[in-house]
Each structure stands twice: as structure tokens, then as C-alpha cells.
Amino acid sequence: MQASPVIIREAVETDVPAIVALFADDPLGGHGDTVDPAALPGYLAAFRRISASANETLYVAEREASIVGTFQTMVTTTMTARGSSSMIIEAVQTRADCRGQGIGAAMIGFCIEKARADDMRLVQLTSNAVRKDAHRFYERLGFSPSHIGFKLKLK
């Protein structure tokens, strides 16, 4: 039996608990995400900041009316490459019991097509160094490792 199609849409505020649950269930993320109700106001505030931004969009992937994935895009314009714009994909997460079903490919494909339609110069993302399976996945989709990223944690 064929799986039902994946629907990708912009997230709405009522999706926040399901999105947070995806991140809280990620043993590799290390971000301290939690489904504790006491943390919900912080997540809702973040959702509202993202929603108010002209350059950021939070999406969910749905299958059979259930959220099975999420990702966020950001558009950045730089003075390099003749002032071109690029899409950054962030916080890609597929529900653990749904991995290997084409959901991640659908989400990334959506981003690539949106970037093409919006005349972006490139699509880029970062992936935690420990996520070797994710690295192979992104390379299968045509991405190539090209830069080394650095972070300075402030909190």
C-alpha cells in the first residue's frame, strides 16, 4: 500500500506543541527542547517572532492530518555575489517513526523549488557534525559540504 502524500504548509500557532515534540524527541540535537508545559510560552514567543519576520518562515509537513516533519527557511541577501539572495534551511526534523518514507526529501525539495521560483542564488543548510546519516541524505539530494561552521554559545 502506498503512503499518503506529504503536504507542506506554513505552520500556524496551534502546530507549536507538535513541532516542539519533534525536537524534544531528538536525542542528537542537544538543544534542551522539552514538551514541559512550563516551556510553551517561550516556544510561542519564538513562533510569533518568526511569523512576524518578512524573511523567515516556519513550515510543517503533514501526512494524514498528522505533523510528521518541520523546517524553517530564512532568506538572506548579501553584498557578495553581486548582491544576491540565498535561502538558508534550518531546524529540519522528521518524526522518528516516519524517517525513510520520503518526508525529508519532500521538505528539502519544497525548499529548492521555492528558492528557484524566488530566483535565489543558492540553498544552504548546516547539519550537526554527529549526524552522519543526515549528511549522506543531503549529499544524495545534491548538496555538497563546502564550509566549516563555527558557533559561540551565549546561553
CATH number at residue 19: 3.40.630.30
Q: Which domain holds residue 68?
A: 7-140
- Is residue 56 in some structural domain? yes
Q: What is the 3-state secondary structure (H, E, C) of the chain?
A: CCCCCCEEEECCHHHHHHHHHHHHCCCCCCCCCCCCHHHHHHHHHHHHHHHHCCCEEEEEEEECCEEEEEEEEEEEECCHHHHCEEEEEEEEEECHHHCCCCHHHHHHHHHHHHHHHCCCCEEEECCCCCCHHHHHHHHHCCCCCCCCCCCCCCC
How many domains does the structure of the chain reveal? 1
2 in a structural domain: no
Mean pLDDT of 63-86: 94
34 found inside a domain: yes
Q: Is residue 136 part of a domain?
A: yes
The answer to whether residue 70 is domain-embedded is: yes
Q: Is 30 within the bounds of a domain?
A: yes
Q: What is the pTM of this model?
A: 0.90
75-120 tens-digit pLDDT:
999 998 888 999 999 999 999 999 889 999 999 999 999 999 999 9
The model's confidence at residue 29, banded by pLDDT at 50, 70 and 90, is low
68 within domain boundaries: yes
Q: Looking at the predicted structure, is the pLDDT value of residue 31 above 80?
A: no
Find where cell 561552521 sits.
149
Distance CA 120, CA 110 (A): 14
